[in-house]
Amino acid sequence: MKKSAFLLLLLVSLSLTAQEKKDIVLKTEVAEATVFIKGAQIIRKTTANLPAGKSTVRFANLSPYLDAKSVQVKVEGEVMALSVNHQLNYNDTVKQTDEAEKLGKQLIDLNEKIKVEQTTKEIISEELTFLHDNKKIGGNEGIDFNNLKATSAYYGERISTLKMKELEVDKKIKSLSEEKNAIERQLAVTGKITPEPTGEVILTVNCKTALRVPVELSYYVNNAGWYPSYDIRAKNISEPIELAYKANIMQNTKEEWKNIKLKVSSANPNLGNVAPKLKTYFLNYYTQPPRYNTNDLSNQVHGKITDETGEALIGASITIKGSTIGTVSDIDGNFSLSIPAGGGQLQVSYIGFITKTLPISNSNMNIVLEEDRATLDEVVVVGYGVQDREVTNTLAGSVAGISVRGVGSIQKKPKSIPLPVVQVENQTSVEFEIKTPYTILSENKNTTVEVERYSLPADYEYYCIPKADKDAFLLANISDWEQYNLLEGEANIFFENTFIGKTILDVRAIGDTLNLSLGRDKNVSIQREKVKEYSTQKFLGSKTETTRDWKIVVKNNKRQPVTLVLFDQIPVSTTQEIEVNAENLSGGALDNETGEVKWKFTLQPTQKNELGLKYKVKYPKGKTLTVE
């Protein structure tokens, strides 16, 4: 009886042991990355040996910032996937880069040296206090002169020695502190030295037989992104525009992207070079004519990004909200960004800090970010955490899941470009696939990749509103621009082999023709002045009559002909009591609704053209009307 019971217990034990799950740890490398405007889709590939029965596959050493909801695992073969979960492993922290590790050791050494010097300074201070408290010499028998002399000499010599030593210590502390600050600034670029947990994905599977199968893990991760920028080159106004399309990629995911297949996707000097826009001149009693901000910095916003202690944040991301116009702060936390004509809001983000969105209210904006102490707490979840991030359309429908199907191919259209790149146009986005393997390390540094280069046929013309800005802006008008899949972004302008500043390539507010502003050209001079003898005010019966006469002189100082489009305006009446009559427009076309007057003409080299703009305003006597 006892023997039968023992055999039964042994069989049950063996059966339970056989049903125990096997733990398989897979350490994979990043194979592909698709970088979105904000965030990135990561793909890791490997081959796993799966035993028969239930087993747990653990993908180790992943980014601590991956989004648990976006995890997907694809397993080939006859494998039943039971569950997939995400967790953080605090026993296996993120390995720092060699540079960060070296800087961390230097920082510890410097802190020790500063501490020693501060202790030395405290000892000197204590001795000086002791000497000060015991400097009196006295006694019942009076003071001996020789004793006094010797004591005085000792005190003077000792205090002098201590003061000089104190100065030397202060110099050492200052020098060490400056060295420490430099290392801390560099560490802000390369990454934190405090240990961070690694991410893990746990996959539970069941196999009828032992298999060796391909496994693919994909997920969305924060702390990565890109923004477009451009180099626009025009050799002269008779040749096509050369446009270099660049992707500025940053990542601090705590994962190294080494020789990976890289894609970028659109899913999701200080002189302003954005040409002004004319405001409608509505005329009524007690109203003022429209005012134009002649400050050349009005098209630029600049400032500094710091934390609550005033420390500069290096590599903070600054974007125009709702657009792809963006930049990053430099080593001192400073930034400069061109803004669209319509303005907008600045969105500032930095790893470990709360993202801040502010209206662009000034050309100079210093922004302080608050540390987000709950960031890691939001990530520490097992299973599916709450997603509190903006995810692009590509990921909007993704949930953590498991697939046992193969990966389909995408048809690509090759183009002639400097780097081997394939452009793939999807329903809601455009991807640029860089065919050459690329390496981008997790060190929060900006990596610029040129993804396209175009030669764009252009019609050149000069554009000017002398009432708002007396400079002539050179515009390049490009038709059929939609085929190039451009995004809004900053552009560096080179004209006649000279860097002339920056402009905005804003494709959100254009029609069939893309107008590129190539900046100001001082070789086209424009003057606008009031003709005083014809600008009068008369009283006729019950009416007041005011006449304004303006003279506009345009001269071409270039060696080739130029086409110029010039705008001015007359006021628009909003009531029947006020009459506005255009008396001289010098052949300009008048828009009666807006009061805009437009001239377009061609000037030969050294040729000058004089235009007149004269209008008369009648309104009831006794009324106050401001007429420019």
Task: List Cβ<8 Å contacts ≥24 apart for 127-134.
Answer: 127/162, 128/159, 128/162, 128/163, 128/166, 131/155, 131/158, 131/159, 131/162
User: Quick one: pLDDT at residue 67?
Assistant: 82
Distances (CA, A) of 369 to 338, 382, 573: 21, 30, 49
Is 226 among the domain residues? no
Please list the alpha-helical segments (H only) found in 570-617.
none
Q: Which helix (H) or strand (E) holds 203?
A: strand 197-207
What percent of the chain stands above pLDDT 90?
A: 23
Each residue's pLDDT tens digit, 215-263: 999 999 888 889 899 998 988 888 888 999 999 998 888 888 999 999 9
Identify which of 321, 289, 288, 318 has the alpha carbon closest to the alpha carbon of residue 305: 318
Identify which of 257, 203, 260 has the alpha carbon closest to the alpha carbon of residue 24: 203
Identify which of 227, 595, 204, 218 has the alpha carbon closest to the alpha carbon of residue 394: 218
**pLDDT exceeds 60 at position 4:** no
Summary mean pLDDT of the chain: 78
Q: Which helix (H) or strand (E) holds 14?
A: helix 2-19
525: exposed, middle or buried (Cβ count in 10 Å: 0-12, 13-18, 19+): middle
**pLDDT exceeds 80 at position 10:** no
**199 Cβ contact partners less than 8 Å away, ≥ 6 residues apart:** 62, 63, 64, 65, 66, 86, 87, 88, 89, 379
Angle made by CA atoms 563, 566, 571, in degrees to the nearest 5:
165
**Cβ(213)–Cβ(79) under 8 Å?**
yes
Domain extent for 602 = 525-620
Q: Where are the beta strands (DSSP E) in 51-97?
A: 53-62, 72-75, 80-93
Is 372 among the domain residues? no
Distances (CA, A) of 387 to 42, 265, 382, 456: 17, 21, 13, 42
Name the pairing type of β-strands 469-479 and 513-521.
Answer: antiparallel
- Distance in angstroms (rounded) separating the CA atoms of residues 145 and 151: 10
Each residue's pLDDT tens digit, 169-207: 888 888 888 888 877 776 665 555 556 788 889 999 999
Least confident segment among 99-113, 221-235, 432-446, 517-531: 99-113
Distances (CA, A) of 475 to 245, 392, 511: 19, 34, 15
DSSP string across 515-557: EEEEEEETTEEEEEEE-GGG--EEEETTEEEEEEEEEEEEEE-
User: Quick one: pLDDT at residue 99?
Assistant: 66
Pick from 400-404, 475-479, 582-586 the range whose average pLDDT is largest: 582-586
Give, as one character, the DSSP assignment of residue 508.
G
User: Quick one: pLDDT at residue 34?
Assistant: 92
Query: Pick the residue with more confidence: 378 or 327?
Result: 327
- Distance in angstroms (rounded) separating the CA atoms of residues 538 and 541: 10
pTM given for the model: 0.55
Number of domains in the chain: 2
Is 296 among the domain residues? no
Question: Span 30-35, mean pLDDT?
Answer: 93
What percent of the chain stands above pLDDT 70?
A: 77
Each residue's pLDDT tens digit, 564-576: 999 999 999 999 8
Domain termination site, one of 169, 190, 211: 190
Give, as one character, the DSSP assignment of residue 353.
B
Enter the tokens of residue 379.
């990530």
Least confident segment among 306-310, 509-513, 540-544: 509-513
- Confidence class of residue 166 from pLDDT cuts 50, 70 and 90? confident
Identify which of 254, 250, 249 has the alpha carbon closest to the alpha carbon of residue 192: 254
Is 67 among the domain residues? no
Each residue's pLDDT tens digit, 598-610: 999 999 999 999 9
**pLDDT exceeds 50 at position 414:** no
Each residue's pLDDT tens digit, 447-475: 888 888 888 888 889 999 999 888 998 88
**Cβ(442)–Cβ(413) under 8 Å?**
no
Domain termination site, one of 150, 165, 190: 190
User: Quick one: pLDDT at residue 162?
Assistant: 81
Distances (CA, A) of 596 to 277, 439, 477, 528, 626: 11, 54, 21, 16, 19
Give φ, ψ of 446 to 5 degrees: -80, 125
User: Quick one: pLDDT at residue 11?
Assistant: 44
DSSP string across 225-258: EEEEEEEEEESSTTS-EEEEEEEEEEE-SS--EE
Is 403 among the domain residues? no
Terminal-residue alpha carbon distance, the chain? 116
- Distance in angstroms (rounded) separating the CA atoms of residues 486 and 505: 9
Q: Give Dmax over CA atoms of the chain in angstroms.
A: 133
**Cβ(487)–Cβ(507) under 8 Å?**
yes
Is 24 among the domain residues? no
- Confidence class of residue 141 from pLDDT cuts 50, 70 and 90? low
Query: Pick the residue with more confidence: 2 or 494?
Result: 494
- Confidence class of residue 96 from pLDDT cuts 50, 70 and 90? low
Is 585 among the domain residues? yes
Name the pairing type of β-strands 211-234 and 72-75.
Answer: antiparallel
Each residue's pLDDT tens digit, 303-355: 999 998 888 887 788 988 888 888 888 767 888 887 776 667 899 998 888 99
What residues does 50 pair with on adjacent strands? 211
User: Quick one: pLDDT at residue 85?
Assistant: 86
User: Quick one: pLDDT at residue 86?
Assistant: 84
Identify which of 54, 566, 30, 422 has the alpha carbon closest to the alpha carbon of residue 257: 30
Is 236 among the domain residues? no
Domain termination site, one of 170, 190, 210: 190
Give φ, ψ of 276 to 5 degrees: -75, 165
